[in-house]
Structure formats: C-alpha cells, structure tokens
Amino acid sequence: MFGGGRLCLFIGIVIFEQIDSMEFFNTLETLKSLLVKNTNKGGKAKSINILLAFVILSVGNLKAQYNLVPNQSFETYIVCPNTLNDIPAPPPWYRPCKYGPLYANACCISNKWGVPYNRGGANYQYAKTGDAYIGLFFINGPGLNRREYYQIKLKDSLRMGHCYYAEFFVSTENDMKLGCNNISMLLTNKAVYVDTMATPYGVLQGNAQVFNYGNPIITDTLNWVKVSSVFVAQGGEQYITLGNFRKDNQTSYMAFQATGYLGAGYTIDDVSIIPLDSMPLKADAGRDTTIHIGDSAFIGSLTNGITNIAWYNAAGQKIDSVQPGFYVHPTASTFYVVEQTVCGYYSRDTVNVTVGTVPLKFINYSLRQAQGDKVENRWTTANETNVSHFNIQRSNNGKDFTTIGTIKANNKSINEYSYEDNTLPFMVYGSVVYYRIVSVDRDGKTSFSEVRIIEVRGTNYEVRLFPNPAKDVVNVECKEGVKEVKIIDMFGKEISHFVRNDGNIHRLSLNTSHYSKGLYIVQVITKNGEVRSEELIIL
C-alpha cells in the first residue's frame, strides 16, 4: 500500500497539514501499524519506531503553527476581475455591506483591477504574497462616514482564555490624498452586517481587537505595513471583519499629499490569526539599520498587546518598559536589546543601529504606456541627502541617452516620483524605447538608475479618454467619428447624454466638474452605429 517514498510523504502531510494534537497522535498509531507491515522484522522496524519517537518529541502535544484564516492572501477567486461588474469577493471572503470594496488580481489583463496597476491605473502596488489583494476605504469623504468591509468565517472558533496573535498588511493607495488610523480587525461570535448605502451612511461599530500599538495614522504608499496584536480570546469568536469601526469624528486623518482622491483607501494582504500555543511569539527588535548623523531610527515593532516588555541600551540600562517599538537618536553606532514574555514564553532580540553615510537607492523603477500615447516613468528612492534634482533620460538604442525632463528632489528618507513623457516622435510607435533616471547632487555628483525598456504600442485605438482620471474636463476621442456619448454611473443609471447628429466630430470635450467623484462608464456610439465603452474615474 505504501512504498518508502509515499510513507515519507504521508508523514510530511500529517505534520504540515497542522491537525489537532489528538488527531495527530491517533494518526501516528495508524501510521505506525502501516510502517511495521511494510518493513522487515528486526532492525528496520526498530529504526521506524525511533523515527516515530523523534516525530512525537519534535511536535509534542501542541498544535502545529496554524493560521485560522482561509484564503489568507486572496489568491482563490471565482472569476478574474476583468470587467466592472465582474468583481465578486474571493471566497470564502464576502462583503458584509452594500458598498463594494476592491478586489485586484494579476490575472486581470487591464489596469482596471489588475496587479500592480488597478483603479484604472491610478493605484500601483505589487501583492505582498502571490498575485492578489483587496482594497478598502477607511474614510471616503471626511464627515460622510462611508465605509467598506471584508468578512470571513474562521476555520475554528477561538477558545476562551487562550492567547492568539493576529496580523494583516496594508499599503496606502497611491491615488489617495488622506491617511488615517483605526485600521483594524474585529472578531465576533456571529456574522455582522451594515447597510453602507443607507442615508446617513452606515458604520459597522465595534471594539476592534486587532490594531497597531498607539493606533497610528498610516500613509506609506510604498511598503506593506504590518498591523498586529496579541490578545486573549473571550471564547466563541469565529468571524473576522476588516475595516474602520469608528465614525469619522472618532477617526484621526491627515492629508499626506497635495493631490489625490479625498479619502483614505488601503490595499490589504496576508491576513493571519494564529494560536500562541502553536507558535511562540518571539521578541522583535527590528532590522539592523544605518542612519545619518542627526537622524533617528525606529526600533522594534508596533505589535499591540505585549505587556511584559523591557528595552536596554548597549550599557545595559533599561530605557523603556511599555512600548514594543519607538524612535531612537544615537550619535554613534550602537545596539539595543528587547526582552519580553508573552503568554509564558520568554525571548530576547538585538538590533544594531549604525551611524554613518547612507547611499542613495533607486527602488521600484517601472515604465508603462499611459493614456494619450505617453510613457509614464515611476520610481522610488531611499536615503536621499543633498540631491538637487533628477534628470529623466531617453534613448532609442540603449547607449545614447538624451535628457527629456527634470524633477526637483524631495530629500526625504523615502520618495516617490512620476514623470510622463509626452514628447515621443510618431516614428517610435511599435518600437523599443529605453529610459533611465539620473540623480544630480548639489555638488554636481551623479548616480544612475538601472535602464528600463518598454515597447511602445501603436495608436490603433477605437475610443480613448484623456485625461483619465479626470477632474474638470475629459476628452472623448474616436477615429470613426462621435455621434453620441452617454455617461453612466456605477449603478447603471444614465446621468448625461450628448448627441452629435452628423457624427463627423472625432474629439469631444466634456465638462466633468459637476460630477461626483467615482467611477463611470463612458459609452460612445460611433458614426457607423457601433457602441464602444470605456471606464472613467472622476477625481
């Protein structure tokens, strides 16, 4: 029944499928009998008993590390989100509300709901794990109390008095103007629901168990930020909901950039709830880092709920006994030690902070062809100091580069930049174009990014909208001639209708300043009577 290779595979399945301890030992007894039947008498059977004893001692009577959240990184889906009306929640996740959150997946062939580009190309973020993530509004127009939520039933209910560790990761969407706090997870014994389309808008209110220490505002659009907590279960909790469970007047928010949608939207990935009798929570002093003289460094983490903790400096002096993480301002290279006891488990960790010179780094440099036959350069830098500006350079052979634009440097620890090249000559369409970024210091020193390549597509479009996203005006262009234009909101209601009887106009400019912010469908009826549709985002 079982050959040697199959037996090893079966042992691996028993261990890594993370079954309960009682099931584990029952399965071991069955496995033992199977092994003995499939071995010779004497030494080999004795060796198998030793192997079984080793497995038992390795696992003990504990449950293996076990995430109670199904489809934790949203990879399983019903239908790839290629169209506006084609975005069901990734099962068994569902929406406990009427207002529909974002589901993005790399399977989408457009920038509507794809990864890394989604929301019509306005947001850019790779998944933390796999190819998918979700997106929620935690504030959507301050004072309106608009919310979005995602909910799921756990694999098992939580046990009263037992310790659990929960975490998920968020990244602020690029097209958002605001960042906020109250980014949290609510655990309940029963499924909960709220009518987020009611008047006034509904907020699912509750006392969230999972949020970061200090409940800080998150504005990072580049990195995945961990939200985590340790907590003791009341018993019977079997549903989790992600979202903001406080009204706008109970939520702190801030504008972190001058432009963007007036909301706080976040992409979410990798959701976990793990029993701490299956995983000892080790102390986290943070990553070793290098800073400039006069700068500060964050050490530790923001995991909430750790109550027995102590921090020491290199001299062995206690410097904190409350915070899981905080900023330090060393003037020379040093180290810090953290000790903690969580649910009876003691651990310690050390972090080194080096004070010196940090070189500029180019990270996440990418190209894409934008609406209106433009090539968008997007890049991020770290450790900017004394940088004057960046030159954007283009080449048609990868060797001879010409500067086509300049952007002033921000000189922050993390910086995001975007530049659209709208100077491409017509003859390059269908060919390969090369780009690079040059940083120029105030003293004239330069450093270069890697060279990026893009094949510029031809202009054989049927209908195009630009700019998109739009604010005050959008241009509708159709080579076949525009006869009618209809604008339809996300609920399928026609809100505007423009008629050009002759159909000899190929471009039409429409005033969009009076439309509400959101997503619309622009339906164009051509001179030949054909119907073309494109999505439009109004900011």
Where are the domains positioned within the chain? Answer: 4-59, 102-275, 289-355, 361-455, 463-538
| pLDDT exceeds 80 at position 456 | no
CATH topology of 102-275 equal to that of 463-538?
A: no
| CATH T-level fold of 361-455 | Immunoglobulin-like (2.60.40)
Q: Which CATH class is domain 289-355?
A: mainly beta
Strand partners, 415: 381
Mean residue pLDDT across the chain: 83
CATH code assigned to 102-275: 2.60.120
| pLDDT band, very low/low/confident/very high, at 491 (cuts 50, 70, 90) | confident
Query: Is pLDDT at 474 greater than 60 in this prediction?
Result: yes
Classify the C-alpha dihedral 471-376-260-124 as positive or negative. positive
Q: Which of 61, 49, 30, 21 is nearest to 10 (CA)?
A: 30
Record the tokens describing residue 168, joined without a space.
């998920």
pLDDT of residue 461: 57
Instruction: Evaluate if residue 57 carries a pLDDT over 60.
Output: no
Q: What is the pLDDT of residues 191-249, one digit of tens each?
A: 999 988 877 778 999 999 999 999 999 999 988 999 999 999 999 999 999 999 999 99
| Bridge partner list, 464 | 477
CA–CA gap between residue 495 and residue 487 (Å, rounded): 6
Residue 31: is its pLDDT beyond 80? no
Distance from the Cα of residue 76 to its chain's centroid: 17
Which residues partner with 274 through β-bridges?
A: 165
Q: What is the pLDDT of residues 309-325, one digit of tens each?
A: 999 999 999 999 999 99
Residue scoring higher pLDDT (475 or 307): 307
**373 has pLDDT over 80:** no
- Each residue's pLDDT tens digit, 134-175: 999 999 999 999 999 999 999 999 999 999 999 999 999 998
| Residue 35: pLDDT over 70 | no
User: What's 189's DSSP letter?
Assistant: S
- CATH class of the region 463-538: mainly beta
SS3 475: strand
How far apart are the C-alpha atoms of 169 and 171, rounded to whole Å? 7
The set of residues, in sequence order, having a beta carbon less than 8 Å from that of 268 and lying 6+ positions away, is: 133, 134, 135, 136, 150, 168, 169, 170, 242
